[in-house]
Amino acid sequence: MTHDTGNGTSPNRGKVSHMATNDSVRPRAASEVKSWDIEADVVVTGYGGAGAGAAIEAARAGADTLVLERAGGVGGASGLSGGYVYTGGGTALQKACGIQDTPENFYNHLIASTGPTSGPSPATHVERCQVYCEEGVSYFDWLVSFGIPYKERFFDGPTWQSPADYGLTWSGGENAYPWNELATPAPRAHVAYLEPGTSVSPEAGPGQVVLKHLSSGAEALGVRTELDIRVERLVTESDGRVVGVVARRYGEEVTVRARRGVVLTAGGFLTNPEMMAQFAPPAYGTFLVGTEGDDGRGIKIAQALGADVQLMDRAEVSVMIDAPLLWPSIVVNQQGQRFVNEDTYGGRVGQHILYRQDGKAFAVFDEEIFENYPEEGRLFPQQPTWVCETIEELEKEAGFPPGALQATIDYYNKHAANGEDPQFHKKAQYLRPLKSPFAAFPVTKELGSFGCFTIGGLRTKATGEVLHVDGEPIPGLYAGGRTASGIPAWGYLSGSSLGDAIFFGRKAGASAANFKG
Amino acid sequence: MTHDTGNGTSPNRGKVSHMATNDSVRPRAASEVKSWDIEADVVVTGYGGAGAGAAIEAARAGADTLVLERAGGVGGASGLSGGYVYTGGGTALQKACGIQDTPENFYNHLIASTGPTSGPSPATHVERCQVYCEEGVSYFDWLVSFGIPYKERFFDGPTWQSPADYGLTWSGGENAYPWNELATPAPRAHVAYLEPGTSVSPEAGPGQVVLKHLSSGAEALGVRTELDIRVERLVTESDGRVVGVVARRYGEEVTVRARRGVVLTAGGFLTNPEMMAQFAPPAYGTFLVGTEGDDGRGIKIAQALGADVQLMDRAEVSVMIDAPLLWPSIVVNQQGQRFVNEDTYGGRVGQHILYRQDGKAFAVFDEEIFENYPEEGRLFPQQPTWVCETIEELEKEAGFPPGALQATIDYYNKHAANGEDPQFHKKAQYLRPLKSPFAAFPVTKELGSFGCFTIGGLRTKATGEVLHVDGEPIPGLYAGGRTASGIPAWGYLSGSSLGDAIFFGRKAGASAANFKG
């Protein structure tokens, strides 16, 4: 199974040659580096989507480019992902599928769904979303230029993971409330095509299709790659400029000079339990979606230079309930109240539960919904924990306050009968009064209901420059992917992490190649 | 009026000699400091509660101690506060008021109410709460030893601000759900006594009573003070040790040597709009509770050395509705649903609205509740926006989904008639069925319903040592108050910020004085 989030599916599957240790993340002075073992113009640290994008653009800008990867192969969390790239504005694929979209419409959806829900979007987030949307069409063309295959078919059904022979799908609640009132709904998950019969596994899923084509393209451009090598520290001149890295391979220290710049694309911090507890307790104890490489070191070695971080508390939160079951069901909290339209993006449902509902909710449905939940294509097969003739019985068994779930269902059913959901605005096609026998199961961390990865990280400009806490770029230092804070911010969309990683990785690589010092 | 939060009431009232500029927050090398204008063993940067605690303990440990304060007088946000110190475990004042409490009981409440609501408390937070509770009794004795007056009277009524002649009051929902089930309720806000007739103003409120006595004590111990001087940068040796600060007074640069250590007690970042937008959009646009000095510079100059930060997204959120009105009312979200027991601590209601309910809620009550809302002692006089004969009418006027508020009130009234609140567990004494005529007003940022200050900051040990991102202390650097992340974390209690500031300020001052280099 692959995962819908545009990121990885399975924790700790990356083959990593060296575990993180407690050695210092502080920089080494260039004056202390006696000799350089390897040299390049641009050194990219981590070969996932962001690293691939950075390497390609650095090489195209004429830089002698080297990628250092901890694991034994290309991919990172991007390689484990479902291969969704969130882009739009009227891409060739959208047009081929008959979908209308414009950069403005794309932006209206993106800023609303990824910005804060209380308070304005910061200027840096606005700028990043603007650039991302303005260049959405050419971004897709760029992906295609590397031979990544896309089927010109749009999947319009309820799912977190479209069937293999569809290239475009909904992945961010675009056609659900409230986003459907803020922008004209358009599907924007551009899904790499996986040959039929190919096992959908982390080793050969759609995310790996994307990485295979991008890394082939990078290789054709002369990008060099070193595997099984872990970046441990940055090397700085006395004026603060970053001029290389200290790495480790099979226990041996390796010094790597970067004549123009270093691009940090080393993933997030989900396999660092101390950082997870410190920053993101809601995601702590969930199914962690990434590789061992996501140990936070890429973030810390920049912070040691005074780099700023942001949104360290935020995480992507997939809820592991299949859409065909979830969307016609209701999801209620411990008080028996609904709190979100169930037909929205599953990552939004998940974030609501972990960040707003103390990590516990219940899916409540009925026999008819369960019978219509197709066995084929189930990603997260789920059976009812309770089946009851009456809501009163279900309240007792599941521990709801007496009468509370009944009141919720009375209100829901009354309006669902008219195809309406005045409180949460679920679409009419998923509205039907629930009727006996009723069923439910709990949705909690302990039951493995959530898949998470971190989305906070280094504060960067849209150019990929890493910002010092004084607001100025740190010379010679760039970042992308989940080492940086990007498009996924307060909210999330499937494909926005991989999409952001490649896109802003490209910006970072080009910026590094063009850095004059 | 003073504020209940154990912090300030009014933004921007501190008299600050120099505004923040965009000059660098990066450290200056000691080798570049030609001469020191002032020298001391321990240099404390900011004279609020944390600075006072630090100065006293540094001086007692034998250090020649100097406090640098930006404003023209002692106080900071602590001086603007209501003078609440949250402590317990069986203090002399608790005993004199007949209140039973133990350090264990104190801890059980504190960790539950300040820790994350989904996921475990990080080890650092557990340790900090343990130390704070173990030493709660001696902490109060220490405050009294400086002559801070406390009336041995317990105020048991509904309020955010006890009358002047009461020394002990509830301030953290101790006797409300869910905390009343996790620990034996005990009031723990120790409120400094303000002479009758003294105008309750920022210049002479209870917070200033605390600061006056502590600063007098510091002076008696030989602590020196420089006012109207703003700390701009740290000074570091080549090995990273902090050995002084660069400050500015009336446009002139002043170099200050710290032979043993620097203690950062310079407040939070609420007057830095860029940082507020970057980190804490929910609190952006609220009534900001602090002084101009809370510009984040104390945090940034440490980050520039690689110091770690945490909980930068979190804020204290007072809801500006008087307790006698709020507690018997119901508070509902835009869907017409209740979401918290209204008789809990007002800071909890506020955090729920800004962090979980998209910043908008409604207080709904009836004529009888409003008639019983005493005019005397109102902190936040509030009139109904809507008065309606029926809930249906109120739903239309206030824009609720049809029937949703009615369903909420039907459920509430049915159980309130029996003195029960099965969903949110409000206490029986505040439960009564709401009856016509009904009234309501909205609770939003735009209407000034919230007072906020930031509670994220530098990651420190309970000793006050500032931690580098590699987990090791930065030699010679200490922090306390809202420059650091402390007891106020995911949740808040009135008096926990001032209480934490003085308490861990003391630890920081003692640690700095004892630093051997």
Provide the whole-model pTM. Answer: 0.94
Give the pLDDT confidence score for residue B363 in this predicted structure.
98
One DSSP character per residue, A154-179 reads EE-SS-SS--TT--EE--S-TTSTTH
Mutate to test the interface with A, among B111, B310, B423 (most CBs of A within 10 A): B423
Burial of A425 (0-12, 13-18, 19+ CB in 10 A): middle
Three-state SS at B223: coil
Give the pLDDT confidence score for residue A123 in this predicted structure.
93
Beta-bridge partners for A256: A38, A245
pLDDT digits (tens, 9 = 90+) for B472-482: 999 999 999 99
- Let me know if residue A460 belongs to a domain: yes
Nearest CB partner across the interface for A122, out of B22, B278, B300: B278
Check whether residue A222 and residue A77 sit in a common domain. yes
Give the pLDDT confidence score for residue A157 in this predicted structure.
84
Does residue B417 sit at the A interface (CB-CB below 8 Å)? no
Does residue B72 sit at the A interface (CB-CB below 8 Å)? no
Give the pLDDT confidence score for residue A357 in this predicted structure.
97
Comparing alpha-carbon positions, the chain A residue that sits nearest to B468 is A304
Does residue B354 sit at the A interface (CB-CB below 8 Å)? yes
Our CA-based measurement puts residue B240 at a distance from the nearest CA of chain A, in whole angstroms, of 11
CATH number (domain holding residue B212): 3.50.50.60
Does residue A238 sit at the B interface (CB-CB below 8 Å)? no
Mutate to test the interface with B, among A121, A469, A474 (most CBs of B within 10 A): A469
pLDDT over 90, % of chain B: 87
Q: Which residue has the tokens 């304060």?
A: B69
Distance of CA A516 to the CA centre of its chain: 33
Does residue A355 sit at the B interface (CB-CB below 8 Å)? yes
Comparing alpha-carbon positions, the chain B residue that sits nearest to A352 is B356
What single-letter DSSP state applies at residue B224?
A: E
Whether omega before B178 lies within 30 degrees of 0, making that bond cis, reads yes
Check whether residue B157 and residue B281 sit in a common domain. yes
pLDDT digits (tens, 9 = 90+) for B61-111: 999 999 999 999 999 999 989 899 999 999 999 999 999 999 999 999 999
Across the interface, whether the CB atoms of A470 and B281 are under 8 A apart is answered: no
- Let me know if residue A13 belongs to a domain: no
Our CA-based measurement puts residue B350 at a distance from the nearest CA of chain A, in whole angstroms, of 13
- Let me know if residue A403 belongs to a domain: yes
Nearest of B47, B38, B42, B48 to residue B65 by alpha carbon:
B42
Structurally, chain A folds into a number of domains equal to: 3
Neighbours of B366 (CB within 10 A): 21
Give the pLDDT confidence score for residue A201 in this predicted structure.
58
Cα dihedral A216, A218, A220, A222 in deg (nearest 10): -140
Give the pLDDT confidence score for residue B305 in this predicted structure.
97
pLDDT score of B16 more than 60: no
pLDDT score of B486 more than 60: yes
Nearest CB partner across the interface for A282, out of B116, B401, B471: B116
Among candidate residues B447, B477, B494, the one where a domain is terminated:
B447
Residues of chain A with pLDDT under 70: 1-22, 197-204
Check whether residue B188 and residue B251 sit in a common domain. yes
- φ and ψ of A224, to 5 deg: -95, 155
Among candidate residues A428, A447, A466, the one where a domain is terminated:
A447
Give the pLDDT confidence score for residue B162 in this predicted structure.
85
- Let me know if residue A307 belongs to a domain: yes
Check whether residue A327 and residue A281 sit in a common domain. no
Check whether residue B86 and residue B214 sit in a common domain. yes
Comparing alpha-carbon positions, the chain A residue that sits nearest to B409 is A407
pLDDT digits (tens, 9 = 90+) for B213-229: 999 999 999 999 999 99
Comparing alpha-carbon positions, the chain A residue that sits nearest to B422 is A401
**Euclidean distance between CA atoms A245 and A6, whole angstroms:** 29
Nearest of B57, B58, B48 to residue B83 by alpha carbon:
B48
One DSSP character per residue, B43-71 reads EEE--SHHHHHHHHHHHHTT--EEEE-SB
Comparing alpha-carbon positions, the chain B residue that sits nearest to A334 is B423
Across the interface, whether the CB atoms of A469 and B303 are under 8 A apart is answered: yes
Does residue A412 sit at the B interface (CB-CB below 8 Å)? no
Mutate to test the interface with B, among A31, A118, A286 (most CBs of B within 10 A): A118
Give the pLDDT confidence score for residue A266 in this predicted structure.
97
Across the interface, whether the CB atoms of B278 and A310 are under 8 A apart is answered: yes
pLDDT score of B21 more than 50: no
Check whether residue B371 and residue B309 sit in a common domain. no
- Let me know if residue A11 belongs to a domain: no
Give the pLDDT confidence score for residue A415 in this predicted structure.
98
**Euclidean distance between CA atoms A135 and A57, whole angstroms:** 15
List of E strands, A393-511: 438-444, 450-454, 457-458, 465-467, 473-479
Across the interface, whether the CB atoms of B313 and A313 are under 8 A apart is answered: yes
Residues of A whose CB is below 8 A from B283: 119
- Whether A39 and A260 have beta carbons less than 8 Å apart is answered as no
Residues of B whose CB is below 8 A from A359: 117-119
Domain of residue A334, residue span:
321-447
Q: Which residue has the tokens 């990043």?
A: A128
Among candidate residues A391, A416, A447, the one where a domain is terminated:
A447
CATH number (domain holding residue B407): 3.90.700.10
Give the pLDDT confidence score for residue A304 in this predicted structure.
97
User: A222 in the Ramachandran plot: left (φ > 0), alpha (ψ -120 to 50) or beta?
Assistant: left
Non-local (6+) Cβ contacts of A455 within 8 A are A268, A311, A314, A315, A316, A482, A485, A486, A488, A489, A492, A497
- Tokens representing residue B184 in the block: 């034996």
Does residue B279 sit at the A interface (CB-CB below 8 Å)? yes
Taking all residues of chain B, what is their mean pLDDT, rounded to a whole number? 93
- For residue A115, the one-letter residue type is G
**Euclidean distance between CA atoms B233 and B305, whole angstroms:** 11
List of E strands, A227-356: 230-236, 242-249, 252-264, 287-288, 309-310, 315-319, 330-332
Check whether residue B194 and residue B65 sit in a common domain. yes
pLDDT digits (tens, 9 = 90+) for B116-139: 988 889 999 999 999 999 999 999
Give the pLDDT confidence score for residue B199 in this predicted structure.
56
pLDDT score of B11 more than 60: no
- Let me know if residue A411 belongs to a domain: yes
- Let me know if residue A277 belongs to a domain: yes
Check whether residue A280 and residue A371 sit in a common domain. no
Does residue B113 sit at the A interface (CB-CB below 8 Å)? no
Cα Rg of chain B, angstroms: 23
Local confidence band at B201 (pLDDT 50, 70, 90 cut-offs)? low
Check whether residue B57 and residue B83 sit in a common domain. yes
Q: Which helix (H) or strand (E) holds A29?
A: strand A28-29
- φ and ψ of B209, to 5 deg: -60, -45
Neighbours of A199 (CB within 10 A): 8
**Comparison of pLDDT for A6 and B160, the residue scoring more:** B160
pLDDT score of B22 more than 90: no
Does residue A471 sit at the B interface (CB-CB below 8 Å)? yes
Residues of B whose CB is below 8 A from A401: 422-423
- Let me know if residue A489 belongs to a domain: yes
- Whether B281 and B445 have beta carbons less than 8 Å apart is answered as no
Comparing alpha-carbon positions, the chain B residue that sits nearest to A22 is B470
Check whether residue A177 and residue A259 sit in a common domain. no
User: A126 in the Ramachandran plot: left (φ > 0), alpha (ψ -120 to 50) or beta?
Assistant: alpha
Check whether residue A339 and residue A279 sit in a common domain. no
Check whether residue A218 and residue A301 sit in a common domain. yes
Does residue B22 sit at the A interface (CB-CB below 8 Å)? yes
Non-local (6+) Cβ contacts of A96 within 8 A are A152
Pairing outcome for strands B168-169 and B65-68: unpaired
Give the pLDDT confidence score for residue B32 in this predicted structure.
96
Give the pLDDT confidence score for residue A196 in this predicted structure.
73
Tell me which residues of chain A, numbers 291 to 330, contact chain B at a CB-CB cutoff of 8 Å.
300, 303-306, 308-314
HSE-CB of B146 using CA atoms within 13 angstroms: 25
- Whether A205 and A289 have beta carbons less than 8 Å apart is answered as no
**Euclidean distance between CA atoms A316 and A321, whole angstroms:** 15
